[in-house]
Structure 1
Amino acid sequence: MKWWQKGIIYEIYPKSFYDSNGDGIGDLPGIVTKLPYLKELGVDAIWLTPIYLSPQVDNGYDVADYRKVDPMFGSNHDLERLIEQAHKNGLKIILDMVANHTSDQCVWFKESKKSRNNYFSDFYIWRDPKPDGSAPNNWAASFGGSAWTYVPERRQYYLHYYAAQQPDLNWENPLVRQYVFDAMRYWKAQGVDGWRLDVITQISKDLSFKDVKGLPGQKYVPLKNTSGPHMHQFIHELNQQVLSPFEMMSVGEAPNSSIDEILKLTAPEREELDMAFSFEHMRIDKAAGKHGEIAVKKPDFKQLKDVLSKMQTELADKAWNALYFENHDRSRIPSRWGNDKEYRYESATAFATILHGLCGTPFIFQGEEIGMTNPTYSVDEYEDIDLKNKYQEQVEEKHLLTTEEFLNIEHKIARDNGRTPMQWDTSPNAGFTQGKPWYKVNPDYKQINVKVDIASKKSIFKYYQKLIALRHQEDILTEGKYQEMMPEDKNIFAYYRVLENKRWLVVVNMTDRQIESDQVKDLIKDYRSVILHNYKSKEISATLAPYEAYIVQK
């Protein structure tokens, strides 16, 4: 097996991980300082969100220079030292490549917008206005408003799927592809081991640029499918030019991709990606607003089971799963799907058991391993451009939601919920910085932090250590077959992992109430050897306590 099939990958949001110089911003030397912590946890690799030079309109996902580390994080030398020290500690380094778009401060774009006939003119997607001078079509940007911005110098609009300051690259131009590939080769030469590829399925566009049908009165309409006709061709070329020759691990972000599309992206014989992040299972609590506004609903755990099980069965023996619940774009699971008050430990470990018991590579987001929670901030305390744009559009301009309604939703699902500074100890600013933090520390840090958790009798960190150790030690978790049990149950997730004569049973109560189940009673009657259990003092039984989770074998 490849190292990443047996490994666990830990995502670091550098800005919020650990500040070594007191400026309030996490940095690369700070990550070096915490390598012993990551080694103690037991992970195999670190994925860093973008650390390149950037105006930080979208927290580094607007890249101005792919070959230069942003001074807020340190220097290129600091990154080289991190790579060297990580390797000495047996940890691999994965960088984030933002290949769909750049910053509008990137020299490529600065040159491109000057005229229609210079070297960089065709590096981005430019289109003439409609006869009335309006945008080429009615596409909406993901962060609100039109996906097109007008530039007087060219008398044309450029396309941006995200912020206006994030113009989309034109992958139809072979030069663009080579510039991206060269940047990746540069970091390979510095020792980087792999790539997380940001919104990689969006690099090919629908070249007809037709209007899309929306709701009545909807001026700008979000695209439901952003995978263009040449996507697989471009990703295959990326594989052949960079990934395969240098044996670099790859995991692609695949918004709006179906399981069939994920399979095409990751089937080894197609030579595209090693893994892909699906979004479908993260939509179990998303609802559709009547007028396109954000909305949430009670989590549908039956839907969660259905999606995860389908991923397990559809990809079995054909491709490899990327497993995650939290990342820099997602909220904290104890707050979102669990109970972050009375049952924070139990709900954190319950969902961790579900995820780490599945076949695939688990990804852990910083703070997940100590059960960090969502903050409940006011609008002006958040930093995210997506949240602020949606507030302006949906509350202030269109009056689709009140401020209270908007916050009740964002307190559940805002991207910024996972970006608060890492909580290390009970000292000021949770031990993250000696200065003023760039983003407000969650006020619960005195109760929830690394130091307190590790010393606790109910340590989430130690539970994660056990889950990680099991994956390293037990082939059944990486090679065993998956078989869902009780598929119609809305509250209990139960499945087998089977390898040769060994059979493990995973049972998880996903609710905050006690459940007694005859089906569970039948399942566990021959299973008495406990592999892992998040209720230490309780016997394995068919009466499941709130968020009880266990792995047992005969």
Structure 2
Amino acid sequence: MSWWKEGVVYQIYPRSYVDSTGNGVGDLRGIISRLDYLTELGVNIVWLNPIYASPNDDNGYDISDYEAIMSEFGTMADFDELLEGLHQRGIRLIMDLVVNHSSDEHPWFIESRNPDSAYRDYYIWRDGKSGRAPNNWVSVFSGPAWEYDQASDQYFLHLFSKKQPDLNWENPDLRQDIYAMMRRWFERGVDGFRMDVINMISKNPSLPSVGDESTLAWGGEHFMNGPRFHEYMQEMHREVLADFDCMTVGECFDLDVNEGRKLVGEDRNELSMVFQMEHMSLDHGNGKWDVQPDWSRVRLKEILNRWIDGLDGVGWNSQFWMNHDQPRAVSRFGNDADYRVESAKALAAVTLTLPGTPYIYMGEEIGMTNVAYPIEDYRDLEIHNWYNEQVAAGQNPEALLASVHRMGRDNARTPMQWDASTHAGFTSGTPWLKVNPNYPDINVAADRANPDGIWHWYRDLIALRKARKTLVYGRYEPYMIDSEQLFAFRRQDQQGDFLVLINLSDERAITRLPESVTELAWQVVKNNYPGHDRIDALKPWQALILELTD
């Protein structure tokens, strides 16, 4: 079987992990200093957010050179040492592939500003319409998705920041340059790629407006899962991926199961797995910033079960609660006030026992939480663009800030909390983004010193998943799918039989399992309420993993 099916991924946001120089920015040598930590936790795949040369308009997702290291992070020699250190410890490395767009400081785009350049068609340039942009699409980061270039009297498309112009995948020369770049990273020794917003690379070639042309509108139907998307993915596989023992995972918004089956179908030669983002919208009302805290557990299970069932026997799943673009999991899906430890463990049990490759975001293994800063202390471009736009439109700043506290991306990007020393042991200088004030109580050193801490729970679950392949490949049978409290399911094959019961609520939960299950002899394997082993009733946020005895 593929190594990435049996692996556990740990995501590192380099800027916020460890600073080795005292300049307040995490770096590659900082990561190198913590490689043994990763081994002790038990993870065997690391996903590294972008470390490429970048002007940092969007924290590295605006790349000016795909084959150079950002000077703040170190050198290519540092990268090679990091890669070697990981491989020596049996840990694979996957990099971020950001090829829907580049930086406007990339040589390709600089050249493309000349209408006569061979690189003009590497980007999406269009004439305006009656003094307006070519269409009315709104950018993901607020405002119009087009920027006017006075020198050439045309607009270029940027679905994100205006410093992130979209690449034109219709151009075969661009595609070949991207494939050649990917190949060189593989030849250097990397083990795969996480592909940023990959299902945006194919656009409707007519670039039509949505609704009233005079009003900005979301045009996702015209630039997500576009007409040539699968063609491009199969070409990428044929030109590059097929030649390497690699792992690929695509970040895909607005992706349904049918499209997912095409992307990960083992007979289609596209991707290893995808991040489907449906459950990341569970608490969205009218958009991301309209927070609905009373999200539905039934809806969560419906989404995850639909993807598990839909990909069963076809391709592979991924499981995650958060990443660098999402709020802290325990603050969003758990209860970080009354049951922080218990709910962090319950969420971990879901990720590490469901079918699919589990992803852990740095700090998740100690239950790091959201922050509540004044607006000037945030660094994220998306936060400031949205907040300023809404204030200008007359919205209440306090209400807007409350939404930022719940949903802002900087929640995930605060520095890693290593210990109770100044700045949580992240840096000896001034951190680029303020450390969460709760670091004296929530940090790696304190959690590891507690045998009942969240860190040990993660380590033990990772070890269990490695040792018992039933939790990787076993059949999945859900129970109590209509319960607004319990996530209950069974994993079984010829090698084992596990029953997983997880209470995702603040209240005691009564189980309603089939008698054919309750009458069996179950032995407790993991329990975050030691001594309370009853399977008929679970305490708030209790996670109970049981194995059938012979």
Specify the TM-score bucket, using the shorter chain as the normaliser.
Answer: over 0.9
Where does residue 412 of structure 1 map in the other structure?
A: 406
Change (3 A) 1:278 1:62: same
TM superposition shift of 1:378: 1.4
Pairwise mapping of residues 98-497 of structure 1 onto structure 2 (< 5 A)?
Answer: 98-114=98-114, 116-130=115-129, 132-213=130-211, 218-224=215-221, 226-288=224-286, 294-394=290-390, 396-399=391-394, 401-497=395-491
Q: Deviations over 1:156-178 (max 9, x none)?
A: 10001100000000011011111
Q: Is the 8 A contact 2:511 2:535 kept in 1?
A: no
Change (3 A) 1:258 1:142: same
More off after superposition, 423-432 vs 512-521: 512-521
Q: Is the 8 A contact 1:197 1:253 kept in 2?
A: yes
Q: Deviations over 1:18-38 (max 9, x none)?
A: 011111100001111000000
Q: Is the 8 A contact 1:453 1:459 kept in 2?
A: yes
Q: TM-score, normalised by structure 2?
A: 0.97
Structure 2 counterpart SS, 1:122: helix
Q: Deviations over 1:121-140 (max 9, x none)?
A: 1110011010x210011111
TM superposition shift of 1:537: 2.9
> Which runs of 5 or more residues in structure 1 are unaligned?
none
Q: Is 2:11 aligned against 1:11? A: yes
Q: Deviations over 1:197-253 (max 9, x none)?
A: 111111111111111137x98434352461211111111111111111122211111
Structure 1 counterpart SS, 2:507: coil
Change (3 A) 1:490 1:521: farther
State the aligned residue count.
547
Change (3 A) 1:471 1:457: closer
Change (3 A) 1:501 1:106: closer
Q: Deviations over 1:80-114 (max 9, x none)?
A: 11111111111111110101000001111011012
Q: TM-score, normalised by structure 1?
A: 0.96
Q: Is the 8 A contact 1:141 1:222 kept in 2?
A: no
RMSD of Structure 2 on Structure 1 (CA): 1.6
Change (3 A) 1:537 1:309: same
More off after superposition, 274-283 vs 518-527: 518-527
In structure 2, distance between residues paired with 1:521 and 1:537? 23
Change (3 A) 1:524 1:375: farther
Please tell me the residue identity of whatever aligns with 1:142: V
In structure 1, distance between residues paired with 2:219 and 2:443? 39
Structure 2 residue aligned with 1:541, among 530, 535, 542?
535
Please tell me the residue identity of whatever aligns with 1:390: W
Q: Is the 8 A contact 2:289 2:403 kept in 1?
A: no
Q: Is the 8 A contact 1:296 1:409 kept in 2?
A: no
TM superposition shift of 1:517: 3.6
Q: Is the 8 A contact 2:470 2:495 kept in 1?
A: no
TM superposition shift of 1:186: 1.7
Q: Is the 8 A contact 1:32 1:82 kept in 2?
A: yes
TM superposition shift of 1:460: 0.7
> Which runs of 5 or more residues in structure 2 are unaligned?
none
TM superposition shift of 1:466: 1.2
Q: Is the 8 A contact 2:479 2:513 kept in 1?
A: no
**What's the % identity of the aligned pairs?**
42
In structure 2, distance between residues paired with 1:518 and 1:315? 27
In structure 2, distance between residues paired with 1:268 and 1:318? 6
Q: Is the 8 A contact 2:489 2:499 kept in 1?
A: yes
Structure 1 counterpart SS, 2:326: coil
